[in-house]
Amino acid sequence: MSRRQEEFYCHECKSYFLTFLRTNFFGNYTIVCPKCEHNHFRVITEGLVTEQRHNEKYGKTELIMGLKSTLRDIPWHNDPAFRRSQLKAYNGGISSKI
């Protein structure tokens, strides 16, 4: 069972935050913003967030708390430090002296 990070945008406080989802997550989940505690109601299938809101056929709801340490004003993938780290990870990417 592996896990992956998922970025969420909270339109209430206009912040981005990360959560970690496992591949065995399936059903109704409420993702809670760590800044303003706004609830994001989603259906997760095999650890992937869908565009669906809660659905009665999936049963009870489980909570996933966003990580307060990951709150950002810009999307994670647009952050220059993140982009550099991705390029460094790529074999043949930019020099590690940056």
Instruction: Record the pTM.
Output: 0.73
Q: Which long-range contacts (CB under 8 A, 24 or more apart) does 52-59 make?
A: 54/28, 54/30, 55/28, 58/26, 58/27, 58/28, 59/27, 59/28
Q: What is the pLDDT along the chain (98 residues), one digit of tens a residue?
A: 688 888 899 999 999 999 999 999 999 999 999 999 999 999 999 888 888 888 888 888 999 999 899 999 988 776 666 666 666 666 555 554 54
